[in-house]
Amino acid sequence: MDYRIFPPEQLIEGSVSLPLSKSISNRAIILNALTKNPQPLPTVAACDDTDSLLKALADTSAPNINIGAAGTAMRFLTAFYAATDGTDVILDGSERMRRRPIAVLVDALRSLGADIQYTGLQGFPPLHIKGTCLDGGQLTVKADISSQYISALMMIGPVMTNGLHITLDGEIISTPYIRMTAAMMRQAGVNVDIEGNTISIPHTSYNPGAFQSIEADWSAASYWYEIEALSSGFISLSGLHPDSIQGDAKVSSYFDSLGVCTIFSDQQPDLVELQANPDQAPRISFDMSGTPDLAQTIAVTCAMLGIPFSISGLSTLRIKETDRIEALRVELLKLGVILQIDGEITISWDGRRRPITSLPEFDTYNDHRMAMAFAPVALYIPGIVIRDAEVVSKSYPEFWDHLRSVGFEIIDAATEPQNDNPAS
């Protein structure tokens, strides 16, 4: 469904109960499944990604597992099944998933003794995995690969006969996600040692019942920071921790430069109040190698505020749900913004804008973050359209309902004639 979006008629004021962290939930699900005596988990994030993971693990006898567009599930389950003795499955996904490379992880697992074969194009899903007890030992991988590959390997490290010692060759990207995985493994009783570019994990057993609650998602909070920056309203967000293990908690410091202050409530420690701050930076330059999922939000916010920007560290964006760098280039052009792309890792805008002549209709490319990052544009350009708006179910199914709760009008675009004058 395509949604046409109109901003609230009054100043935005409201409280939002954010969804639970998808990243923490996915790790908790895998770590719990790796225990010798899995216990019922607390409530986890209710979204497509976690649903795919839970469904795959619940049906242990299914010979064919299709996880759709859930990239995290593909990476985590590849390692999980490879290290689970007696498993014999075909792990597959959507057409886009069949074009997302996985050879780096498969090669690493094969070097540790895994039995994994490609059933289609070499280097890509589907995968035929026959699980076995892996030997483990020493492993060297490139440091600039996706942190999900590294996290997948880390989590199965304790069940390997000799544990696992990973050497990351080069400059590490997405460090916060690796540290999140390590923190959760420690919470489950595994002594993970990270020193420089070396991760050491002993052979041991996970403690069952280690996870009693899941904190709210800082990635989801980013869209509300964007809304606050563009509206100067009064927004409070519940479920966020000031000492979060989520790397995307850095969104609060990014938005310090974009006119949003983060205030944790004294009475309710997990309640955040967002307040407008007139001191916006005239230009921003961020290295987002540790927080690439926030890049779309920051780029769109800067474009609407007219703040020139340079965002580096984006080497993984080409192989996400879509090619996010190309998707940003195309969709920002609909706002008159000509995005500059430097190699594979940096995007920038010099602040110049060309006129737009029609009301923007934004494509989402089956990418939840494209939909949510561009929706707040309605605050400046009422009546924009977000195509295939249901893609938000991947991580934040309640997103549109939450926008309505603070006054946005969201209707089926097919029921409303298009206004071709963006200035009206």
Q: Do residues 79 and 109 make contact, with C-beta atoms less than 8 angstroms apart?
A: yes
Give the whole-angstrom CA distance, residue 16 versus residue 6.
19
Residue among 293, 323, 342, 420 flagged as catalytic: 293
Let me know if 67 is exposed, middle or buried by CB neighbors in 10 A (0-12, 13-18, 19+). buried
Give the whole-angstrom CA distance, residue 250 versus residue 253.
5
Amino acid sitting at position 201: I
What 8-state DSSP symbol labels residue 90? E
DSSP string, 363-378: --TT-HHHHHHHGGGG
| Nearest alpha carbon to residue 158 among 200, 204, 199, 189 | 204
Q: Do residues 319 and 101 make contact, with C-beta atoms less than 8 angstroms apart?
A: yes
Residue 130 corresponds to which tokens in the numbers above? 């026959």
- Active site includes 293? yes
In order of 333, 338, 411, the CA distances from 420 in angstroms are 16, 21, 17
The residues that are catalytic are 293
